[in-house]
Amino acid sequence: MPSYNLSDFDAVLAIGRRGSFRAAALDLGMSTSALSNAIAKLEGQLGVRLFNRTTRSVALTDAGRRFVDQMTPALKDIHQALDTVRSQQETPSGTLRINTFATAGREILSPLILEYLRRFPEVHIDVVTDGNLVDIVADGFDFGVRTKNLVPTDMIAIPVGPARRNVVVASPSYLDNHDKPRVPSDLLAHPCVRTRLPNGALFRWQFEAEGQPVQVDVEGPITLDEGSLARIAVLESMGIGYFMESDVREDIEAGRLVQLLEEWTPPLSPLCLYYPSRRNPPAAFKVFVDLARELARAAKKDRSSWFSAD
């Protein structure tokens, strides 16, 4: 009688959910070839093909679809039972998966994630940065980190970080040859470093005047889709840039960049760590939540700290 691995069943569900061996392999933390081999072995044991594969797409067969429909609730029960057992662990272990975006990842890495790993070295944390908002439950993540206004209403959320803000900056050498903008509309007379959103749209710079939002569709010599590249271009005096303050704070403090239009960029919503309610979460999950709440409480007393519970 053939023996089956729980991980193989999880793999089938991941491929069916993502419609891609490559994307599912990334979610599962394994190579695409290893995942393909595992599925081929499982199909051989079952004597039926679960996926139709072409060079461009992957789709469940009719048998694969029935398998996924019947296996999904059973696997949910199995994982819930495993969670119940793991919740009794004295030493947290296992893997936690976190979905966030790049800037937020940089903000929470040291005060939350690295501090957690120092306290609980037997836990592995897998951080995935994604510009698009994803369904963390469907995509197999334990936690998400987004700005408060983007957290789904059915999730539990913990503010993790002080109020944030955008900043407009330019290099001193750029300002030696150009007048400083006084109001957002002045930016239309300046070369600006543009950024592209994950959906392909060009980002319009956001401002606020007397409580009313103002958008400026700037123009410039270069468009980039990654903040670290845009920062380099602004440091090289290619034009004016628009960033999250945390990404260029050290440059401003060191005098490499000069902040502009400060009164037009008020604080934004804080970041939130969010997660679904779980009946018996594993010990690693529980202590991660405990640490986030601990830091949030500490920040409530110390506004200069990274974290705030406001």
Question: 3.40.50.1370, 1.10.3190.10, 3.40.190.10, 3.90.550.40: which CATH number matches 94-160+269-301?
Answer: 3.40.190.10
For the cut 80, the answer to whether the pLDDT of residue 50 exceeds it is: yes
State the average pLDDT over residues 86-111: 83
User: Would 6-86 and 166-264 be classified into the same CATH topology?
Assistant: no
Task: Go through 275-295 and write b for each residue having 16 or more CB atoms within 10 A of its CB, e for each that does not.
Answer: beeeeebbbbbbbbbebbeeb
State the average pLDDT over residues 67-72: 86
- Helix (H) and strand (E) counts for the chain? 10, 14
More confident residue, 26 or 249: 249
State the average pLDDT over residues 250-271: 92
Domain boundary assignment for the chain: 6-86, 94-160+269-301, 166-264
Average pLDDT in the chain: 86
Query: What pLDDT digit, counting tens, does each position of 112-169 carry?
Result: 999 999 999 999 999 998 878 889 988 889 999 998 888 999 999 998 876 688 999 9
More confident residue, 253 or 82: 253
CA proximity to 291, closest of 102, 125, 153: 125
Confidence band, pLDDT 50/70/90 cuts, at residue 256: very high
State the average pLDDT over residues 68-90: 75
Question: What is the C-alpha separation between 283 and 72, in angstroms, rounded?
Answer: 24
CATH 1.10.10.10 applies to domain 6-86: yes
Tell me the CATH class for 166-264: alpha beta
Length of the chain: 310
For the cut 60, the answer to whether the pLDDT of residue 72 exceeds it is: yes
For the cut 90, the answer to whether the pLDDT of residue 30 exceeds it is: no
For the cut 80, the answer to whether the pLDDT of residue 23 exceeds it is: yes
Share of residues in the chain with pLDDT > 90 (%): 42
Query: What pLDDT digit, counting tens, does each position of 200-250 carry?
Result: 889 999 999 777 889 999 999 999 988 889 999 999 999 999 999 988 999
Q: What is the pLDDT of residue 1?
A: 58
